[in-house]
Amino acid sequence: MLYHFFEYIDTYYNLPGAGLFQYITFRAAFGIILSLMISLVFGGRIISLLKRLQVGETVRELGLEGQKEKEGTPTMGGIIILLAILVPCTLLARLDNVYILLMLFSTIWLGLIGGADDYIKVFLKNKDGLSGKTKVFGQIFLGLVVGVTMLVSNDVVIRMPLEEARSAGYEVVKQYEIPLPKVNDISRMTEMAYVKTTLTNVPFFKNNNFDYKYLVGFLGDNADLWLSVIFVLIVIFIVTAVSNAANLTDGIDGLAAGTSAVIGVTLGIFAYVSGNTIIADYLNIFYIPNSAELVVFSSCFIGACIGFLWHNSYPAKVFMGDTGSLTIGGIIGVLAILLRKELLIPILCGIFVAENLSVVLQVSYFKYTKKKYGEGRRIFRMSPLHHHFQKMGMHESKIVTRFWIIGILLAIVSVITLKIR
């Protein structure tokens, strides 16, 4: 809202300083500050309110050190994260931008699903919360909205040479000319196009491109229909998987919030370079028009996660609950998809992947050995993975710090994939 207000002021009244809101970097920096302030100033009040409402965590007996001390700690702290994202983003981002609208919808939608789950657990005293099928249905619906919007919206495009776009059969939304470097003082122009496509970036490969239509090319006349179906299914899978993986990671103080902040920084960098035509050309990656606005959203997301850590670091004064964990995971998944970096998720979200994989391996191996030997055996002392290290006697703050360090290393590897091919 402030962007549009100051744009009007700058256009008609030429107020000094109003033009600052045209700059992505200024609004991004302001977004981090504002989201941090909301987390710090209002976070304590929200925690006090949760205590008065007796919104306390019921801790299952898992035989972990320090577990009983967490009993009664307020949950549903994800409300702090939601406020710290939605308020500054609504104020500072362009609300006519399709990417921002999708991210705001994703945040609110997943916040409602996670909030409903926490509400049922805390207020209705149903420890199972929202049924697993209902949560997955909600995540599927979000993936459906994101996938279909990317396929049909004329604002979700990438730039490429017009001749290349036509030869590949992509739908051209807009075409224009840009100047090339002069040769022998002769000016040259080349035709470029904004196209709707299912192209995405592939890390470590020289051409750096992959089109999902390659998966259905053998279907002939039906290829376009099946391409839409497969693309939407892939989006649904990614959103659901990352959202649930973040939910599994939220098991000890500060782990999910800190890891997500690191991922948010990386996605913010990707948003900036993908939305800057000069840097995108230099790095030989897709220039995605209007995606630079996602830098503002990413900044609010980073500030919200770091601000929540103020209250959630060991010993935690509040837990985010599903209100926060489902939301931050879904946000990361949708951001990666919109920036065409979803194939980087196994690296960038390596902590989430390891946590999720540890549960899958543990359950699968237990069932297999029970069927084969008559008794279930385990790979880890406990899953998810962070509980395995707790069972080994490692203090949770040391586990969190080391997971953060690994997350930072994975983020650095993700960033340098922009040049390593």
CA 30 centroid distance within chain = 20
DSSP characters for 141-160? HHHHHHHHHHHH-TTS-EEE
For the stretch 26-71, pLDDT in tens is: 999 999 999 999 999 999 999 999 888 877 666 665 667 666 667 7
Element (H, E) at 290: none
Element (H, E) at 193: strand 186-196
Cβ-Cβ contacts under 8 Å for 153 (sequence gap 6 or more): 98
- What's the Rg (C-alpha) of the chain? 23
314 touches 396 (CB < 8 A)? yes
Report whether pLDDT(10) > 90.
Answer: no
For the stretch 327-354, pLDDT in tens is: 999 999 999 999 999 999 999 999 999 9
Confidence (pLDDT) at 206: 75
pLDDT band for 124, please (50, 70, 90 cuts): confident
Angle, alpha carbons 158-348-299 (nearest 5°): 70
Rounded to whole angstroms, the Cα distance separating 15 from 336 reads 37
110 touches 331 (CB < 8 A)? yes
Confidence (pLDDT) at 15: 74
Rounded to whole angstroms, the Cα distance separating 193 from 189 reads 13
Domain ranges in the chain are: 2-157+197-416
Confidence (pLDDT) at 297: 97
Report whether pLDDT(109) > 90.
Answer: yes
- Number of residues assigned to the chain: 421
Please tell me whether the overall predicted TM-score, pTM, comes out greater than 0.75 for this model: yes
pLDDT band for 221, please (50, 70, 90 cuts): confident
